[in-house]
Structure 1
Amino acid sequence: MNPVLEKNVLDWLLDSDPSIRWQVMRDVTDAPPDEVAAERARVAREGWGARLLELQDESGTWAGDVYNPPYRGVTFTLDLLQRLGIDPAADETRRAIAKVHDLRADDWGGDPFFAGETEPCVNGRILGEAAYFGELDYADRILERLLADELGDGGWNCEAPGNSNVSSFDTTICVLEGYLDYENAVGATPAITEARRRGEEYMLERRLFRRKSTGEIIDKQFVNFGFPPQYFYDVLRGLEYFRASGRQPEERMREAIDLVRDKRQEDGRWLLDTRYREWGGLFFTLDEEVGEPSRWNTLRALRVLRWAERGGF
């Protein structure tokens, strides 16, 4: 990228919420760790992170339930707080998580929230949230379910029939992220690492967005980038997972990497292609509109391309 253009993009990214600034500092500009930590600490006290914490009610929920309404229930709100990178050890965060710890999910048979439920797409995210926020008392239960729910093609699918071997990218990415968050929190284990590798192969055999049988794009959603992704998959989310996992780029990722590169606008930024809002939307829009430049997609794309280019792509 042109140096002047690159500076303009970085200045634009840094002129934003603390949740974006600290990740730009860590992943793009290589700021000193103490400066990154100081900026990250602001997420719980100001901006979008603080706004979300303030919306929690006394019962511990954000909209009256652990899951519904989608995008506003506890599951989705914790997912967003995690993606904002809120410090899990901050006093403000711990007060919020203490309330969630005591929640009982009526729709899940009265079990504690962090014990999860039955669908792997939900359990993958809850495992990731439990690991991130240090609430792992029930992790073994979720892990047992997820390992049992893996399908023959290496991935996962919510509400899959008993004899099904057809996985879903949407569900599989939720499980893979949850596994990775767990291993980052407690260390790698052979069973989980092997399950992650099988899930990764499921995605890589399809080049991250194409049908294995025909080579056609599986779903146009996969090539449209939205944030926050919630439980929806897209190519950028898939590449972000591989980057975070420490895996090196490989040939089966090339087309997906090129897709991200091709979606860069002439001004060096990426657009918000879509917003997942069919069921009521977010509490607030993170200052982004569909079709307009997106700081979140630009941040995510820049760090994916940085990873890819370091790996020779």
Structure 2
Amino acid sequence: MTERDVASWLLDQDPALRWQVERDLLHEPPAVWEATRARVGTEGFGARLLALQDDDGQWAGGAFFPADFDFEGPEAAPGAGQPWTATTWSLDSLRTWGLDAAVLRERRTVERLAESCRWEYDGSPFWGGEVDCCINGFTLASGAWLGADVDGIAEWFVEHATEEGGWNCEWVEGSTRSSVRSTLNGLFGLLELEERGGGTNETRAARHAGEDYLLRRGLLRRLTTGEPVLDGIDVHAYPFRSHYTALRAADYFRRASTFDDRAPDSRVAEAIEIVRAARRADGTWVQHERYPGRVWFHVDVPPGEPSPWLTLYATRVLDWWDGAAR
């Protein structure tokens, strides 16, 4: 495909993707992409997922896991994959697809979740967060989007940062080291809070410290050995879920540097080149795999096919990086 063909292909997608193409790749005026974005709640993926919301405000009857999840059954076996149908994941999808928060406010989703939704780990209230850094990152982002009171979760990140500057979901097991995956998921939540007008000097400092933790590793490599921080760092797969990859980490720093109005950090360069190397001659990126686990419905192509979502994210990251270089 030519560059024009790729643009036409991306425009011929669900409104959840199309409006981002119009805004970020084609730089259409707000009247154009805002009209497309408004369709997310009434058409396509957004409308389908909204129709699956329970009467009590939840999805699949649970906070992080569906109500019928068998913690002793085959679905919980190693390699089976986290189910992606419960409230945490459904809210994250709707938020990243660009649904107007007013749609869920009209349904009193914040209030209903406060009344009905409890974390499977310890039964604590949904908007109070959990002990898991990644879960708290997603909840902070969703709460900031919907206007819930999530200041307590934001402060939790200040209090639970390690001496290295990041976070680790295994802190409850005694770990004092940071994890790149936990740190990235926490950073997305803190950044979303600030993008929507929230945050304090303390939470901003915590965000910047977490960013520095990743940047000191070039996003990809251990400080001690220079080896990759995780297997699958070069995997390109959408939806991203909570996984840590070069593309997802680079996309975070695109958002953060844009929000902070600062130039891209040179330490993101290796992650950028991993993204660039995966671009095919026709200007698209291929879906490498689908992360295992129960879903409501698929929103991207099977492995081996050109992915509209990955092409959007990767093109946007390269445009940001290359544009700054120019």
Please report the TM-score for the alignment, with normalisation by the length of structure 2: 0.88
Partner of 2:161: 150
* Residue 264, structure 1, aligned to residue 279, structure 2: yes
Partner of 1:7: 4
- Cα distance 1:106–1:214, how it changes in 2: closer, same or farther (>3 A)? closer
Question: Match of 1:207, SS?
Answer: coil
* Residue 20, structure 1, aligned to residue 17, structure 2: yes
Question: Match of 1:311, SS?
Answer: helix
- Cα distance 1:306–1:226, how it changes in 2: closer, same or farther (>3 A)? same
Contact 2:129-2:135 at 8 Å conserved across structures: yes
Report deviation, 1:85: 1.2
Structure 2 residue corresponding to 1:274, chosen from 286, 289, 297: 289
Q: What is the correspondence of 1:208-247 to structure 2 with a 5 Å cutoff?
A: 208-245=219-256, 246=258, 247=262
Unaligned runs of 5+ in 2: 67-82
Taking the aligned partners of 1:251 and 1:146, their CA distance within structure 2 comes to 26
Taking the aligned partners of 2:151 and 2:31, their CA distance within structure 1 comes to 34
Taking the aligned partners of 1:78 and 1:96, their CA distance within structure 2 comes to 14
Structure 2 residue corresponding to 1:184, chosen from 195, 215, 237: 195
Structure 1 residue corresponding to 2:106, chosen from 82, 85, 94: 94
Taking the aligned partners of 1:18 and 1:221, their CA distance within structure 2 comes to 30
Report deviation, 1:281: 2.8
Structure 1 residue corresponding to 2:216, chosen from 200, 205, 211: 205
Taking the aligned partners of 1:60 and 1:163, their CA distance within structure 2 comes to 35
Contact 1:67-1:76 at 8 Å conserved across structures: yes
Contact 2:65-2:86 at 8 Å conserved across structures: yes
Structure 2 residue corresponding to 1:298, chosen from 307, 311, 318: 311
Question: Match of 2:312, SS?
Answer: helix
Structure 2 residue corresponding to 1:134, chosen from 134, 147, 165: 147
* Residue 125, structure 1, aligned to residue 138, structure 2: yes
Report deviation, 1:163: 5.6
Taking the aligned partners of 1:33 and 1:101, their CA distance within structure 2 comes to 34
**Alignment length (residue pairs):** 305
Question: Match of 2:274, SS?
Answer: helix
Report deviation, 1:214: 1.4
Contact 2:180-2:229 at 8 Å conserved across structures: no
Taking the aligned partners of 1:290 and 1:96, their CA distance within structure 2 comes to 38
Deviation string, structure 1 residues 175-229 (Cα, Å, up to 9, x no partner):
1010011111224532111111111111111111111111111223221122222
Contact 2:119-2:126 at 8 Å conserved across structures: no
Unaligned runs of 5+ in 1: none
Report deviation, 1:312: 0.7
Deviation string, structure 1 residues 150-171 (Cα, Å, up to 9, x no partner):
1111111102257633211211
Please report the TM-score for the alignment, with normalisation by the length of structure 1: 0.92
Report deviation, 1:100: 2.9
Quick one: percent identity of the two aligned structures? 41
**2:24 maps to amino acid:** D
Taking the aligned partners of 2:299 and 2:133, their CA distance within structure 1 comes to 28
Partner of 1:169: 180
Taking the aligned partners of 2:24 and 2:114, their CA distance within structure 1 comes to 31
Taking the aligned partners of 1:106 and 1:25, their CA distance within structure 2 comes to 38
